[in-house]
Structures are given as C-alpha cells and as structure tokens.
Amino acid sequence: MMATSSDQRRITLITGASRGLGRAAALALSATGDHIIAIARTEGGLVDLDDEIRAGGGAATLVPLDLGDFDGIDRLAATIHERWGRLDCLIGNAALLGPLSPLGHISPEDWAKILDINVTATGG
C-alpha cells in the first residue's frame, strides 16, 4: 500500500464513479492508497461510494457534476490545481450511449450531447 500522507497519495480522478466500472475502479484504487476524486451526476451514489471508501481507510473528494457542464469542468481543473498542484491518473469512465437507431434518425441535439459527453468532456 502507498504511503497515506496527502502529499504522497496518488491523485486519481474517475468520471462515472457512482456505479459500475467507475465505482469498482474507485474502490480498488482507494484500497491501494490513491486519493479519489469521484465525479458523477448522482450525488446519492457518490455519498454511498464515499462511505465505502472511508470504511476501507481511504479518502475521496466527491464532485457531483454533469460532464456536459464545461464551465464546471474548468472550475474543477482549477480547484485540483490549487489543492494538489497535480493530477496523477484520470479514468474517463463516464459515457452516454444515446438512442439506438440509424445515425440519420438521431436528432442534432442528441448527437451533440453524445459527442459532448463521450468526446469533448474527456479529451478536450
């Protein structure tokens, strides 16, 4: 296990951290000593995750955020820089499936939202 001081912990940001693969990654990495920055739209899921991380002796920072909120992403980046001065690991797990139909049947608004979440927010 890594050292537990806040200066020596790896800082890991995980999107879609409230359930599924993101939650599993957050729990696994917190168990190895990472400080988890957990991002998800569902605040209740983040609180449950935080309870489990803390029960295992880990630490997390919870960020209820929709990745379509680009201003929110910018504010988060500034906060991470101010607080830790670095980000050691990014797991861009959050994604949006969108409508299951031929591309020509997907509205421009739905298409833009899919691109915003799956491409722009994670690769900006």
The pLDDT tens digits of the residues spanning 57-104 come to: 999 999 999 998 999 999 999 999 999 999 999 999 888 788 899 988
Identify the pLDDT of residue 47: 97
Is residue 11 a contact partner of residue 35, using CB atoms and an 8 Å limit? yes
Which of 29, 8, 15, 102 minimizes the C-alpha distance to 66? 15
Domains (range + CATH), the chain? 11-95 (3.40.50.720)
Which of 54, 48, 124 minimizes the C-alpha distance to 90? 124
The answer to pTM > 0.85 is no
Angle 41-47-49 from CA coordinates, rounded to 5°: 95
